[in-house]
Amino acid sequence: MTALAVNGKRLWSSLMEMAEIGGTAKGGCNRQALTEEDKTGRELFIRWCEEIGCTLRVDQMGNLFLRMAGSDNSLPPVLMGSHLDTQPTGGKFDGVYGVLGGLEVLRTIYDAGITPKHPIEVAVWTNEEGARFSPAMIGSGVWCGEFDLAYGHARTDKQGVSIKQALESIGYLGTEPCQPFPVKAAFELHIEQGPILESIGKPIGVVKGVQGMRWYDLIIDGQPVHAGPTPMEQRRDPFMAQAAIVSELYALAATHSPWARATFGDIKAEPGSRNTVPARLTMAVDLRHPDQNILSEMDTKFREIAKKHCDKFGLTYEIKDEWNSPAVQFNSDCIDAVRDATEAQGYAYEEMFSGAGHDSVYTSRVIPTSMIFIPCEKGISHNEAENATPEDIEAGCNVLLGAVLKMANA
């Protein structure tokens, strides 16, 4: 074990205190982006950081950067962070753990009287969840150049309030340019939001990248006829092709296991009558894999499969591309720092990929980035029942501490 370790009880206490802001009756959190609850959470976090001498910058998208000085402040900082906003019925750990884990690293360094060579910062990214404003991860997205500032400011919620108006209303429309600055290394500590680590009994996930994700709408057109009089062999029924397509895509995912994913989360039949063969079937298709080459292969196979079965049943079809998020490979030096810190602490770990999007998807495009995962109970997230153990919370933060100090003193 290393001599320096975080204060797990203090970290847990901070998480529980933050969870009271927007706390729900079922034990979760409703602290949506740029609401009064988000403002209160930001202010608490800033106060905690300023108590240990950190300085604050706020950029034009309301992203927060809290800096602890290094011995050579001309050097680029080591960055930690995630987000404080939640889903409407979110949990106590998604995002906020990465922010308060970063705070606990700074507190530990401060208590030890250490001054790392590089400055260290904690970032709070605006509107990661996308629950109030769409799209998700827009604060980090504007920062990395995926979206321009005008687009980010103009996004509105269901009441027509823009992000710029909401930032002004809570006092977090900053003046710092929302653009990349030199960073030595960036780490995001997060609950897994899936069941893998819990199922294999390992407390740490060394995250090597993020799955590529492709969303489609498959639209199949047939012929609407009466369900009773029309023989099966004389029908042009979209469901006949759909069933075969789904079966083959599940088999395709199995071929590229264990990381391939195929999901069909929404199906609409038109005209939607119980006793009429549908005229049109629209099915959402979600394909994922962390290897971009394999994901491209899955895309090609999907198109071949759709054509084969629609032709077989005399159906016309269209594949609409809805979203394409390429696979992300994290920085090898950052991954090595996480792995080394994990081994130094003696924790069992699994090298893995993230199945969900995070701010690190965007930051990795412009700065060296990686992530650290810990288990969450039953893999549940975006849910008031979201839970993690104090022991795993502490373990993940100790790994973050080790990785940050390695990079900050390099």
* Cβ-proximal residues to 277 (8 Å cutoff; 6+ apart), any chain: 222, 223, 224, 225, 226, 227, 230, 235, 236, 237
Rounded to 10 deg, the angle between the 390-408 and 96-112 helix axes is 60
Label residue 199 exposed, middle or buried (CB < 10 Å: 0-12, 13-18, 19+).
exposed
**Does 190 show up as a binding residue in the annotation?**
yes
Which is nearest to 358 in space by CA: 167, 194, 238, 163?
194
- Please state, in angstroms and as integers, the Cα–Cα distance from residue 193 to each residue in 60, 376, 409, following that order: 30, 6, 31
- Report the half-sphere exposure of 201 (CA within 13 A, side-chain side): 0
- Please state, in angstroms and as integers, the Cα–Cα distance from residue 175 to each residue in 46, 54, 166, 361, following that order: 17, 19, 15, 25
**Does 51 show up as a binding residue in the annotation?**
no
**Does 118 show up as a binding residue in the annotation?**
no
In whole angstroms, give the CA distance from residue 388 to residue 81.
Answer: 18
CA-CA-CA-CA torsion for 173, 176, 177, 182, nearest 10 degrees? -140
| Residue whose tokens read 């264990």 | 258
- Please state, in angstroms and as integers, the Cα–Cα distance from residue 236 to each residue in 226, 240, 270, following that order: 12, 8, 14
Q: Are 359 and 188 in contact (CB under 8 A)?
A: yes
Which is nearest to 105 in space by CA: 408, 405, 401?
401
**Does 83 show up as a binding residue in the annotation?**
yes
* Cβ-proximal residues to 231 (8 Å cutoff; 6+ apart), any chain: none
In whole angstroms, give the CA distance from residue 289 to residue 263.
Answer: 12
Give binding residues for Zn(2+) as ranges: 83, 94, 129, 190, 382
Give binding residues as ranges: 83, 94, 129, 190, 382
